[in-house]
Amino acid sequence: MSMRISTSSAGALEEKTRAAGSSVLAALFLTALKIIVGLATNSLGILAEAAHSALDLGAALMTLFAVRASDRPADIRHPYGHAKVENLSALFETLLLLITCVWIVWESVRRLFLERETVEASIWAFLVMGVSIIVDVSRSRMLRRAARKHDSQALEADALHFETDIWSSSVVLLGLAGVWVAQRQSGVA
């Protein structure tokens, strides 16, 4: 049984793959940037965001795979097609986020009760979080457009995920601002 993908279907696959691929590149860039600045400033907020971005990278790679695999036509082994791959991708992404959450809670408890850590609220910390918000806004919009156009659950889930990342990055920015104000008032900086 041989099936071919139509030209319009191939165009849709290319567009969905391009959207998912650009999300992979954005996640790779943000992960590296947050790790470097998080280690330089010793900010748990930025390090937690780096871990989150690393998981975003894993999720974006999984979405890229799911989009490509779910678009394949039905075959003898999969008579109903491959669309369920997108659901498995969402499950995998959820498990990755759960692991990240457990690590962040553990690290927070460790830093609050076991070891005192000093955070440096430098301009680099503010810049990396600002860049992260800008990148997440642009990629969530791009993914949302592609998801609506092609009715893709995997791209829709990724878009929603990155929209929530905007809020978590904003919370880190507020935390950094609080550290900066406290350091200025105590004369530390």
Q: Which whole number is the average pLDDT over 166-170?
A: 84
pLDDT at 3 (0 to 100): 43
Rounded to whole angstroms, how far apart are CA atoms 129 and 145? Answer: 24
pLDDT at 32 (0 to 100): 93
Q: Tell me how many domains the chain contains.
A: 1
95 within a domain of the structure (yes/no) = yes
Q: What is the pLDDT of residues 68-108, one digit of tens each?
A: 777 776 667 766 666 677 777 777 767 777 777 787 788 77
The CATH number of the domain holding residue 63 is 1.20.1510.10
Structure token pair of residue 128: 């990396």
For residue 83, with 0-12 CB atoms within 10 Å meaning exposed, 13-18 middle and 19 or more buried, which class applies?
middle
Q: What is the pLDDT of residues 106-144, one digit of tens each?
A: 877 887 888 877 777 788 889 988 998 999 999 899 989
Phi-psi region of 165 (alpha: psi -120 to 50; beta: other; left: phi over 0): alpha
Contact predicate 34/43, CB 8 Å: no
Rounded to whole angstroms, how far apart are CA atoms 132 and 130? Answer: 5
121 within a domain of the structure (yes/no) = yes
pLDDT at 189 (0 to 100): 53
Q: Examine the pLDDT at 158 and tell me if it is beyond 50.
A: yes
2 within a domain of the structure (yes/no) = no
126 within a domain of the structure (yes/no) = yes
Residue type, 113: F
pTM of the predicted protein model: 0.71
26 within a domain of the structure (yes/no) = yes
Q: Which whole number is the average pLDDT over 29-54?
A: 85
pLDDT at 6 (0 to 100): 41
pLDDT at 5 (0 to 100): 43
1 within a domain of the structure (yes/no) = no
59 within a domain of the structure (yes/no) = yes
| Greater model confidence, 6 or 11 | 11
167 within a domain of the structure (yes/no) = yes
Domain that holds residue 68: 7-186
Q: Which whole number is the average pLDDT over 43-48?
A: 79
pLDDT at 12 (0 to 100): 75
pLDDT at 138 (0 to 100): 93
